[in-house]
Amino acid sequence: MKINCHCHIFSPDCVPLEFRKRFFLDVKNPIDRLFHRLLRRILPEDSKLENLLDIIDMPISEIAQKLVDEMDEAGIDICTPLMMDMEYCEKFGGATKSFNDQIIETMATVEAINKKYNRIRMLPFIAVDPRREGMVTIVKDALRGGAFKGVKIYPVMGFTPDDRRLYPIYQYCVDNNIPITAHCENGGIPGLKDYYRLANPKYWAVVLQEFPELTLNLAHNDRTGSPWQTKIAQLIKACPNVYTDISYDIEMWFMPRRYFKDIKRMLGTAKIQDRLLYGTDWYMGRCLWTESSYLKWFLEYSKKIFWCRVEFTDQEIKRLTEDNPKRFLGL
């Protein structure tokens, strides 16, 4: 049972309008739509970029179905769609779909998908921003309702993980064995370098001093050889339930040998080998890969491409895609 521990199904209208404008993602803007039409004319048929353009026009329900279709092609059984709360992004905030509407649509979509396949295909995580009024009640209600499996924290929206307003959520997660996935990479949305520092794992070190039993995925594992990656490894070794996932790092394409050798090393390192999670960050990189092609990098391409030559054993792949994700999710 392969599990993707990091993906997304939120629709573009969940993203602040100013951010959409910056990257020609405002589907209601005639200039952006013209730009998309021109792109489609010059792109080869069924290109990955054209598929991304299709997603931009889809509601949450259709995005989710497209993800499941790709999961089936890849042999992925379960995924954990991570919600995003971008309304309070200090640089681009506002002009988003109401967060309550996003929750309702996500719940309805996941329920429909799981019912359609008569088994669990999606276990969504609800987003948390400490600046949202009534945040603790909203999150607890969503988790108690049973539709959501965990919590997503995205500090680069403009807060740090050690914000005391988040502590009631951490306590609730510890008390109820609820996993948290947190963006922990020196990059990402909203594309502002001054905000990336907010995701520094040093802030999680403070949180884990008070909540050492917290089940926490420090997502993306930053970049090979970075101080953040070293700190993440230290937190994994120091705490019983800290994980990291390997979703979306540009090193995978530009420096594949270094990237895959690093993952191979982690899968052979005590404690860390049991805390490494598979994830793709779909659909963030949909112009570069599908769920199937992403997985094939680990199963085939990493060992076949002459400038990479890194081979993973069946046991390592099982640990990465099955054993560790099941433990993280409490399955």
> pLDDT digit string (tens) for 27-77?
666 555 554 455 555 555 665 655 666 677 789 999 999 999 999 999 999
CB-based contact 82:5 (threshold 8 Å):
no
pLDDT at 16: 76
Least confident of 21-30, 157-166, 203-212, 254-263: 21-30
pLDDT digits (tens, 9 = 90+) for 72-92: 999 999 999 999 998 888 777
The whole domain housing 218 covers 3-329
Q: Two tokens at 268?
A: 């052979």
Phi, psi of 281 (to 5 degrees): 65, 20
Q: Which residue has the tokens 């049972």?
A: 1
CATH at 85 = 3.20.20.140
CB-based contact 181:151 (threshold 8 Å):
yes
Cα separation, 207 vs 205, whole angstroms: 5
At position 289, the amino acid (one-letter code) is W
At position 297, the amino acid (one-letter code) is W
Closest CA to 169 of 129, 204, 217: 129
What is the crossing angle of helices 201-210 and 167-176, to 10°? Answer: 60
- What confidence tier does 187 reach under pLDDT thresholds 50, 70, 90? confident
pLDDT at 111: 97
Closest CA to 126 of 111, 112, 146: 146
pLDDT at 36: 47
pLDDT digits (tens, 9 = 90+) for 284-319: 877 678 899 999 999 999 998 888 899 999 999 999
pLDDT at 77: 98
- What confidence tier does 190 reach under pLDDT thresholds 50, 70, 90? low
Number of domains in the chain: 1
Q: Average pLDDT, whole number, for the chain? A: 89
Average pLDDT over every residue of 219-248? 93
